[in-house]
Amino acid sequence: MCDLRNRMSKRTIVLCILISCVGYFAFGQISTRELNGGSLNSINTAVPFLSITPDSRAGALGDVGVATQPDINSQHWNVAKYAFTNSPSGISISYAPWLRRVIPDISLAYLTAYFKPSDEQVISGSLRYFSMGQLTLTDINGGMITQFIPYEMAIDAGYSRLLASNFSGGIVFRYIHSNLTNQIEVYGEESIPGRSVAADLGFYYHQSIGSNGIGYAAGAALTNLGTPMGYTSNSEKVPIPSNLRLGGRVDYRIDDDNQISGQLEFNKLLIPTRPVMEGDSVIRGYGAPESVVGGMFRSFFDAPGIHFEDGSYSSAFREEISEVTLGVGVEYWYREQFAVRAGYFHEASIKGNRKHFTFGVGMNLNVFLIDFAYLAPTNGQNSPLANTIRFTLGFDLGQL
């Protein structure tokens, strides 16, 4: 399908890389690309768009959201937060141009809504659509084979409820559809859209601001727990980005008009780490798991260790710790109408090297909620994420 002798656009090359990644789970050799601190051994998954921050508020807070104050976009981060929303219903739409330094027309759109039929329970839903722009495929002679728009999407339905006065839980069911090839031949086989079903499970605890002006919250969410995905009938299935989020928040009311909060979040992909192979034998780490659930549990202790330039390896524990990403954010509200936000996201160099500061503002104008976020990478303007922006427009239907 992908012949680099053609004059291909960047988009075609990106698509070829995505399709080639489908076979990664066969466990090839650990990457020999050297980075500061060791060789690259990132964890690859199908449908990585599920891990992209869709809304502007979280995008301005260092990509954190599992324990932030409940809002309309809680579906993506922790569905359990909906049980503590003040409004009986709301709807929000977000838009983010994505990787614009590489391809100008990739984007992520996110629509979410919720409804409280009673004070104890909430029904929610969302639609996520990731467009890769128009793609033209050509043969070895430059003749056009076809034009199409690769896309991926996910449709969610969620339910959350109060389990105690300060504690809630929730569950989300998700259908995922990934059409990267338009059913053309890939490596001699007719391709098919990738499909998967998944679920999220979330819990949220909060203590309201007391007489001392301090409140706090904690959240935990297991997301994208689902079936692996393939793009041909005989291809090895690739796991979707199952993930564990743990986080907390502290609120401080300065006075009647001013409030500030700080949030901290840890994320860990529940995906097996590639081992080091010698021929068909595993010499460090573990081979392919027998089941999806087994792979999730194994993901906490299966790392082979970081490979250094001198040929030595670190402990497995050190590499496992490097697979945990960190997000921190600070949010300031004035009269609960105007917000200023900032955050930082950190990922180890050997696991992807995403490191960026985030900034944003928000306005709560009764019915309308408007948020904007901007991402500034710390590893140079050559980062494909440089100058990423997000926009979100929400409607508090309870104010109508």
Mean pLDDT along residues 288-305: 88
pTM: 0.88
Mean pLDDT along residues 4-23: 43
Q: How far is CA 172 from CA 11, 98, 122, 193, 200, in A?
A: 33, 25, 12, 23, 5
Give percent above pLDDT 90 in the chain.
61
Give percent above pLDDT 70 in the chain.
88
Q: Give the model's pLDDT for residue 161.
A: 97
Q: Which amino acid belongs to residue 209?
A: I
Q: Give the model's pLDDT for residue 38.
A: 65
Class level of CATH domain 10-399:
mainly beta
Higher pLDDT, 199 or 232: 199
Q: Give the model's pLDDT for residue 20.
A: 42
Q: Give the model's pLDDT for residue 14.
A: 47
In whole angstroms, what is the distance from residue 44 CA to residue 167 CA? 34
Mean pLDDT along residues 241-257: 97
- Least confident range from 203-217, 241-255, 285-299: namely 285-299
Residues of 283-295 as b/e, b for ≥16 C-beta within 10 angstroms?
A: eebbeebeebeeb
Mean pLDDT along residues 207-214: 92
Query: What string of DSSP letters covers 283-330?
Result: EES----SSHHHHHHHTTT----PBPTTS-B--HHHHHHHTEEEEEEE
Could you tell me if 246 and 78 are in contact, meaning their C-beta atoms sit under 8 angstroms apart? no
In whole angstroms, what is the distance from residue 16 CA to residue 9 CA? 11
Question: Over the stretch 66-100, which tens digit does the pLDDT of each residue have?
Answer: 999 999 999 999 999 999 999 999 999 999 998 87
Distance of alpha carbon 10 from its chain centroid, rounded?
Answer: 23
Could you tell me if 124 and 112 are in contact, meaning their C-beta atoms sit under 8 angstroms apart? yes
Give the gyration radius of the chain's Cα atoms.
22
Task: Assess whether pLDDT exceeds 70 at residue 144.
Answer: yes
Average pLDDT along the chain: 87
- Domain coordinates in residue numbering, the chain: 10-399
In whole angstroms, what is the distance from residue 56 CA to residue 267 CA? 19
Count CB neighbours of 7 within 10 A: 8
